[in-house]
Amino acid sequence: MKYITAKGQKMSAFSLGTVQLGMAYGLGEAREKMSEEKAFSILDTAMENGVDNLDTANNYGDSEAVIGRWLDSRRKAGKVLPWVVTKIGPLKHGSYDILRDDVMRQVEGCQKNLGTDTIDCLMLHNFEDYGDDRDAMRKIFDELKSQKAYKYSAISAYSRHDYGIIADSGFDAVQVPLNVFDWSQIENGGHQKLADAGMMVFVRSVFLQGLVFHTPEDLDPRMDFCKAPLARYLELCKEFELDPAALALSYVLSVPGVTTAVMGCDNADQVKANCALFDKTVQLTKEQIALLRDAFAGIDPRVTNPGVWYNSGKK
């Protein structure tokens, strides 16, 4: 497993996403919420294979509570504990007191679920909760910091948001989507602003809803606009001598400032496979990154927006 140290915190490059542990999750056929025994097996396997940080949220079903019970079992056994990121939100706005009360209520719930007085990393789940009232939110987070309610502060955002605002926020970390097809925040300097601010940068959606695992021939007919970019991507995989998953992950880990990639797993075997995948990643050369940029910067924006993939291919 590869590791990085940011803001004095050492962590694995693989951050285990845990939404699957707390609720039925995924596309396609209806999926049942996994058993606690299976969730514990996934968490144990992650730790055994070098993954030392988890990503959860207070609205991931009972993921926080499951993790809390697992953490308690490890404490009692004297085992090493992971670093845990959890998220709060959406939040109630209207006045400072309303906002503060809701933040405090949600943070107390997270502390109770995780069985700790000090959360490793407390993240706002919605950029708008910060963007709509920045001064108030900073004041509330400063108060929580003085109470030692968390060690690091963070905010989650999408590529449509203003990364400059995030870089100037004073938060320690940020979680954003990043994949080889979406160059919008690379081209406009957004990612560089995050790096220059010294923030820990956690990235998600590395495989773009699994697009990199397809071939142009097996795509849904409504996704014809994805065929050419995907075909070019597979050509570059051959040229770089990397399989589609390894190139996708190597790319995001080669972007300056990126700390970890958040990836969920449905079972222990998938955890092991993803750990092996991280060991296969390489630092891409400037020439390789330039080829990727030439191929995908400025492509049809529908490619990077899964929400419109099945909208009959219409713009």
Based on the structure, what is the number of domains in the chain?
A: 1
Let me know if residue 315 belongs to a domain: no
Let me know if residue 117 belongs to a domain: yes
**CA–CA dist 170, 157 (Å, integer):** 15
Choose between 311 and 124: higher pLDDT. Answer: 124
**CA–CA dist 25, 19 (Å, integer):** 7
Supply the range of the domain harboring residue 15.
3-208+245-283
The pLDDT-based confidence of 311 (bands split at 50, 70, 90) is confident
Q: What is the mean pLDDT of residues 225-232?
A: 97
Q: Quick check: helix, strand or coil at residue 175?
A: strand
**What's the CATH number where 57 sits?**
3.20.20.100
Exposure string of 98-119, with b = 16+ CB inside 10 Å and e = fewer, is ebbebbeebbeebbebbebeeb
Let me know if residue 215 belongs to a domain: no
Let me know if residue 92 belongs to a domain: yes
Let me know if residue 183 belongs to a domain: yes
Number of H helices, E strands in the chain: 13, 10
Helices 244-254 and 286-296: crossing angle in degrees, nearest 10, is: 110
Q: Which residue has the tokens 């390489």?
A: 282
Let me know if residue 311 belongs to a domain: no
**CA–CA dist 83, 15 (Å, integer):** 9
Let me know if residue 304 belongs to a domain: no
Q: Terminal CA-to-CA distance of the chain, rounded, Å? A: 42
CA-wise closest residue to 168 among 204, 142, 132, 131? 131
Q: How many other CB atoms are found less than 10 A from the CB of residue 310?
A: 11
Q: How high does pLDDT run on average in the chain? A: 95
pLDDT digits (tens, 9 = 90+) for 57-105: 999 999 999 999 999 999 999 999 999 999 999 999 999 999 999 999 9
**Predicted local distance difference test score (pLDDT) of residue 24:** 83
* 117 in Cβ contact with 150 (< 8 Å): no
Let me know if residue 172 belongs to a domain: yes
